[in-house]
């Protein structure tokens, strides 16, 4: 058996188990090379100190249980909700909808290749709907479009000043750290003046507007909406399963990301209706959602625990630099740059001892 093909080029998918990827990488590094290859991004992550990892609060985790697949295998998806200062009105709505058990017995209604998987009430805002929409609970906030980003003008006078200042400093400092590769090219954004990470999230920023906002990378979760001025409630959600649709940034609310089990969504059959909705004749392809729970509401023994690699730490800076300038064994021509969605923030499940 020879080496697996394009093995070290493996992307660190949000949902990929780090342990498995690292095992493959370790065996690969046993190949005779004329010189020791540079560590791969995953090797850098594996070597990160325990305190480089930040625990995700159970209040910020949603556990979504899908119906078992055709072979009877359980399917569970874990979503991390977005922290302040972003999208908090929608995030609060989502916790409310979960606690009211509104999401229970809805379904995945849309799977559009290289775009999104969308779930919600199959009878609401669905071109293939055939029944009555499910009533929404009381108490949902109605958010404005200005919530799609954080306007940073004047923020120095209020409580967000620290966070916003941090974001700008984080973006600027990290970009400096990634520039040391000899092949490094200009890193100006296509979609933002600056792009970097803040408290574990990919963020776009504009100094001229000025504003900061979360960006649509693979696995990010957003709030379906109707035409402006509608902004959606959080009852209808989608996740990205293709190339980052960055044109949606600042046009729709991003509320989180899938951190485990995205394969249960991304491998679903594509819908044959318009926009990838399941057409009426294939309504049986809609995957039932059994329940959605805030992890903090579960019994302690049932709460999944996750942590992310601090995007403010030295390990992440080395990881990001290595993603932008691959020098590990498989590569012969480091790219000299990486777009923000090609630097997925490492997230791992914590297994109790």
Among residues 53, 86, 168, 218, which is the contact residue for a copy of itself, using CB under 8 A? Answer: 218
Task: Tell me: does residue 97 bind a copy of itself (CB under 8 A).
Answer: no
Among residues 70, 132, 153, 301, which is the contact residue for a copy of itself, using CB under 8 A? Answer: 70
In the complex with a copy of itself, the residue whose CB is nearer, 13 or 283, is 13
Task: Tell me: does residue 186 bind a copy of itself (CB under 8 A).
Answer: yes
Sheet holding 306-309, edge to edge: 53-55, 306-309, 347-349
In the complex with a copy of itself, the residue whose CB is nearer, 130 or 138, is 130
- Write down the least CB distance from residue 202 to a copy of itself, Å: 11
Query: What residues between 333 and 352 interact with a copy of itself by CB under 8 A?
Result: 333-339, 341-342
* Separation of alpha carbons 31 and 160, rounded Å: 51
For 269-328, the DSSP string reads PPP-SGGGBPPGGGGGGSEEEEEEEEGGGS-GGG---EEEE-TTSHHHHHHHHHHHS--S
Question: Is the distance from CB of 320 to CB of 343 less than 8 angstroms?
Answer: yes
Sheet holding 150-151, edge to edge: 150-151, 211-214, 201-206, 194-198
Query: What residues between 229 and 288 interact with a copy of itself by CB under 8 A?
Result: 232, 236, 238, 242-252, 262-263, 266-270, 274-275, 277
- Write down the least CB distance from residue 43 to a copy of itself, Å: 15
Query: What residues between 103 and 122 interact with a copy of itself by CB under 8 A?
Result: 111-116, 118, 120
Question: Is the distance from CB of 8 to CB of 40 less than 8 angstroms?
Answer: yes
Query: What residues between 10 and 49 interact with a copy of itself by CB under 8 A?
Result: 10-11, 13-16, 20-21, 23-24, 31, 33
- Write down the least CB distance from residue 57 to a copy of itself, Å: 25
Among residues 190, 300, 351, 353, which is the contact residue for a copy of itself, using CB under 8 A? Answer: 190
For 174-197, the DSSP string reads HHHHGGGSTTPPP---SSSSEEEE
Q: Which stretch binds a copy of itself (CB under 8 A): 48-56, 97-105, 186-194, 310-318?
A: 186-194
End-to-end CA separation in angstroms for the chain: 35
- Write down the least CB distance from residue 197 to a copy of itself, Å: 15
In the complex with a copy of itself, the residue whose CB is nearer, 209 or 297, is 209
The answer for residues whose C-beta is within 8 angstroms of residue 115's C-beta and 6 or more apart is: 240, 241, 242, 245, 276
* Separation of alpha carbons 187 and 50, rounded Å: 30
Could you tell me which of 17, 54, 304, 10 has the C-alpha nearest to residue 198? 54
Backbone angles phi, psi at 44, to 5 degrees: -65, -45
Query: What residues between 316 and 335 interact with a copy of itself by CB under 8 A?
Result: 323, 326, 329-335
Question: Is the distance from CB of 307 to CB of 56 less than 8 angstroms?
Answer: yes
Task: Tell me: does residue 131 bind a copy of itself (CB under 8 A).
Answer: no
Among residues 46, 56, 217, 255, which is the contact residue for a copy of itself, using CB under 8 A? Answer: 217
- Write down the least CB distance from residue 49 to a copy of itself, Å: 25
């Amino acid at each position: 058996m020879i080496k697996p093909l394009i093995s070290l080029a493996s992307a660190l998918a949000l949902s990929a188990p780090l342990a498995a990827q690292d095992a493959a990488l370790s065996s690969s590094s046993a190949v005779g090379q004329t010189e020791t290859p540079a560590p791969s991004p995953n090797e850098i992550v594996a070597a990160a100190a325990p305190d480089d990892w930040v625990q995700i609060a159970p209040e910020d985790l949603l556990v979504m249980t899908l119906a078992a697949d055709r072979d009877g295998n359980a399917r569970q998806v874990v979503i991390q909700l977005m922290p302040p200062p972003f999208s908090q009105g929608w995030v609060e709505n989502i916790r409310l909808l979960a606690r009211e058990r509104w999401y229970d017995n809805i379904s995945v209604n849309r799977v559009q290749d290289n775009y999104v998987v969308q779930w919600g009430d199959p009878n609401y805002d669905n071109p293939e709907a055939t029944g009555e929409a499910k009533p929404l609970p009381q108490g949902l906030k109605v958010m404005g479009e200005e919530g799609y980003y954080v306007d940073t003008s004047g923020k120095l006078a209020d409580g967000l000043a620290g966070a916003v200042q941090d974001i700008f400093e984080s973006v600027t400092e990290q970009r400096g750290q990634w520039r040391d590769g000899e092949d490094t090219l200009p890193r100006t954004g296509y979609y933002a003046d600056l792009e970097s990470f803040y408290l574990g999230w990919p963020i776009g920023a504009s100094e001229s507007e000025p504003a900061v906002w979360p960006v649509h990378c693979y696995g990010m979760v957003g709030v379906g909406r109707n035409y402006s001025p509608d902004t959606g409630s959080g009852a209808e959600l989608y996740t990205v399963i293709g190339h980052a649709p960055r044109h949606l940034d600042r046009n729709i609310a991003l509320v989180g990301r899938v951190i485990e089990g995205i394969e249960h969504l991304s491998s679903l059959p594509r819908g044959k209706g318009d926009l990838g909705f399941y057409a009426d004749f294939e309504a049986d392809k809609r995957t039932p959602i059994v329940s959605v729970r805030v992890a903090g509401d579960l019994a302690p023994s049932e709460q999944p625990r996750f942590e992310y690699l601090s995007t403010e730490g030295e390990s992440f800076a080395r990881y990001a630099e290595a993603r932008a300038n691959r020098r590990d064994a498989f590569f012969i021509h480091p790219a000299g740059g990486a777009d923000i969605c090609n630097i997925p923030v490492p997230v791992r499940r914590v297994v109790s001892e």
